[in-house]
A and B are shown apart, each in its own frame.
Chain A
């Protein structure tokens, strides 16, 4: 811990502490259950897909309330933002039980799991985990539970 931070903590100890107004807590929790819910993963999504942090935040905020389009897997929907399109990525909601048939990759493919449970030939991935497939690799996926993922084919 740096000397400056130690001073800050010591100073904070002697401050006149009083509870914040209850509406601040209510507003915060409402945001975390709404548009900010998935921004928890902003750093990892930005890093994996080559987005700026602001672009990742913007895309993740669109998940609750953004415009979704039908996807290629049964019952799935897709979300694209200009920054995701530029990064050759998209967000997908896939119902539980969907099988993504065995396929191979010409280019690298990234799948970041925001929510749900995804099985890759026996190995189970959960929220916050990244599946990174190299060019030439192959796999099949099974959505054990409804999944919310960011897919990308980085250049």
Chain B
């Protein structure tokens, strides 16, 4: 770790080899999927924080496991939120007439950033206020309002 703290990428690679299997195992235990993607993110964040690591507070393994657990739980919560939203989305039945406007809306929605899309969906499909979305997603109320404005503007342009 001491060499990694001074920018030695090879030393950080050795640290990865030593600890990645257990870090991955922990994240697999929390998340059924996506653990491999998150493994990369956890080690990038560890690199970005390596100079703040304090050996007197925790071993490298504990330091990495605590980070990995926090990231995996964040991802799990986001997956749950997205699942809740998907359940509430109206689905078109096979015999429904094809509504070109509805199709265009769905296509435009699919191109939005996930956080913007979630804000629009929570606003329009669940009728939540900016304050309620803020409480549910953890994003500041001002961020929710700006995401809503950005999403509406994008939809307006896409459907013009």
Residues of A within 8 A of B (CB): 1, 5, 8-9, 11-12, 15-21, 24-25, 27-29, 31-33, 36-37, 39-44, 57, 115, 127-128
Task: Please give me the residue from chain A that is nearest to B63 by CB atom.
Answer: A5
- Assembly CA distance A15 to B58 (angstroms): 20
Please state if B39 and A24 are interface contacts (CB–CB under 8 Å). Answer: yes
Number of inter-chain CB pairs below 8 Å: 93
A128, B7: Cα distance in complex, Å: 9
Contact B21 A19 (CB under 8 A): yes
Shortest Cβ gap from A15 to chain B (Å): 4
| Interface of chain A, main secondary structure | helix
Closest Cβ neighbor of A60 among chain B residues:
B48
- Chain B residues near A25: list those with CB within 8 A: 13, 16-17, 20
Of listed A15, A29, A31, A43, residue having the most chain B CB within 10 A:
A15
In angstroms, Cα B21 to Cα A37, docked, is 23
Known contacts A5-B62, A9-B61, A33 near B9 by CB under 8 Å = yes
Q: Knowing A9-B61, A24-B36, A28-B16 touch, does A42 contact B21 (C-beta < 8 A)? A: no
| Contact A44 to B51, CB < 8 A, known contacts A1-B58, A15-B29 | yes
Q: Closest CB-CB distance, B33 to chain A, in whole Å?
A: 14
Q: Is the CB of B44 within 8 A of A28?
A: yes
Evaluate contact between A15 and B26: CB separation under 8 angstroms. yes
Residues of B within 8 A of A5 (CB): 58, 62, 66
Using Cβ atoms and an 8 Å threshold, which residues of chain A touch B91?
none
Which of chain B's residues have a CB closer than 8 A to the CB of A40? 5, 7, 47-48, 50-51
**Given pairs A31-B44, A43-B52, 6 additional interface contacts (CB within 8 A):** A8-B69, A9-B62, A9-B65, A21-B36, A28-B40, A44-B51
* Chain B positions 29 through 46: 1 when the CB is less than 8 Å from some CB of chain A, otherwise 0: 100000010011001100
**Is B47 a contact of A36 with CB atoms below 8 Å?**
yes
Hey, which chain A residues are within 8 Å of B61, CB to CB? 9
Which of the residues A8, A18, A28 comes within 8 Å of B43, measured between beta carbons?
A28
Distance A44 CA – B51 CA, assembled complex (angstroms)? 8
* A residues near B49, Cβ cutoff 8 Å: 43
Q: Smallest CB-CB separation from A32: which chain B residue? A: B9
Q: Is residue B22 within 8 Å, beta carbon to beta carbon, of the partner chain? A: yes
A21 — nearest CB in chain B belongs to which residue? B36
Residues of A within 8 A of B51 (CB): 40-41, 43-44, 128
Whether A128 pairs with B39 at a CB distance below 8 angstroms is no
Closest to B43 in A: A28
- Give Cα A57–Cα B51 distance, bound, in whole angstroms: 14
- How far is it, in angstroms, between the C-alpha of A150 and the C-alpha of B118 when the chains are bound? 38
- Which single residue of chain B is at the shortest CB-CB distance from A41? B51
Q: Among the listed A19, A29, A57, which residue makes an inter-chain contact with B13, where contact means beta carbons less than 8 Å apart?
A: A29
